[in-house]
Structure 1
Amino acid sequence: MTDIHDAALFLAHACALEEDAANRFADLSETMKTYGNQEVAAFFGQMAKFSRMHLAEARERSGFRQIPDLKPEDFQWPDGDSPEAASMEGSHYLMTVEYALELALESEKRGLAFYAEVAKTTTDSEVRMMAEEFAAEEAEHVAQLEVWAKRYPALQG
């Protein structure tokens, strides 16, 4: 459970989460390029671009605020790690498109759940508004990934 009732603390989490997402998508894009799948590499490249845009938005919202420089143990992540931290352990020369999409979809769902939980549990109206907006953006990513996943029957089981 999160205990985020301060806009600066929320934005510190949002910046870290979006940076992790951008890095993960960029890594998946490069992996797909390496394996010769240019179409999926381009898709992940576009997702990385969206995450970088969300990161820029979070940083812009930080504006005049003093954003805390959190140590890893200071973050209030549900499982101890950023919801969208790169899970690239399965990234190897046999990585399939299906597996790459599954990795991305799982992490986007975790990001969505994180923002939704903050929106639900915060006592700060500004934090709630921002968390709801970020949750909506994550929901768009989930929807895009689900559309792509439908193109790969192995993911439908």
Structure 2
Amino acid sequence: MNQTASEPPSKQESHSIESLEELCAHALELEHESAGRFHQLADSMEVHHNAEVAGLFRELAELSEAHAAAIEAHAHGLKLPQIPPWEFKWNCPDEPESHCLDEEVNYLMTATQALRVALFNEEHARAFYQGIADHTKDAKVRDLASEMATEEAEHVSLLNEWLERQSPEAEPADDFDPPNVPE
């Protein structure tokens, strides 16, 4: 490599994961965070009487929890590294499925907007795993990362189906009780 010490690593190098232990550690964090965020979105949709989309988010949370359980089973017997949050190798500034679009999430969002946020995050998770599969030299890491990318692609397909069934974009609801912000 012709890289000096002061240059940042390339995207490929900074996202390189070469051990099953490191992949499992990243995947577990991603899936647990994802499940928590989907539960939050479901709660928000329920509060705003959108039971259908709340149900979708609950289903996605359950899928994330199932993926986490499968990863835990796969990691059984492995010594997973304790990775500080600032050393996680995500595609987004923070976790791929959690904070990428937090500024877009608000209590007045429509179901379509909520689905787009989830789709954005699932696409980033798929790209994260696919990038690992594409760049690793380890066959076991490649196989597991490819499997995880396929699972995230299934989430993307599910969300695209839901988006296709949504009625045309509605305007966000009027805020009859806006936050009290001092001027």
TM-score by length of 1: 0.93
Partner of 1:47: 60
Does the Cα contact within 8 Å between 1:9 and 1:68 map onto a contact in 2? Answer: yes
Measured after TM superposition, the shift of residue 80 of structure 1 is 3.5
Gaps of 5+ in 1: none
Measured after TM superposition, the shift of residue 111 of structure 1 is 0.2
Q: Which amino acid aligns with 1:140?
A: E
User: After the TM superposition, which of the residue ranges 83-92 and 41-50 deviates more from structure 2?
Assistant: 83-92
* CA distance in structure 2 between the partners assigned to 1:140 and 1:109 by the alignment: 10
Report which of the two has the higher share of helix.
1
Q: Does 1:154 align with 2:173?
A: no
Q: Which has the larger radius of gyration?
A: 2
Q: Does 1:69 align with 2:94?
A: no
Deviations 1:82-131 (A, max 9, x none): 11124443333311101100000000000000000000000000000000
User: After the TM superposition, which of the residue ranges 116-125 and 90-99 deviates more from structure 2?
Assistant: 90-99
* CA distance in structure 1 between the partners assigned to 2:118 and 2:83 by the alignment: 25
Matched residues, percent identical? 37
1:77/1:92 Cα in 2 relative to 1: closer, same or farther (>3 Å)?
A: closer
TM-score by length of 2: 0.81
Measured after TM superposition, the shift of residue 3 of structure 1 is 1.3
CA RMSD, Structure 1 to Structure 2 (Å)? 1.4
Count of equivalent residues = 155
Measured after TM superposition, the shift of residue 34 of structure 1 is 0.5
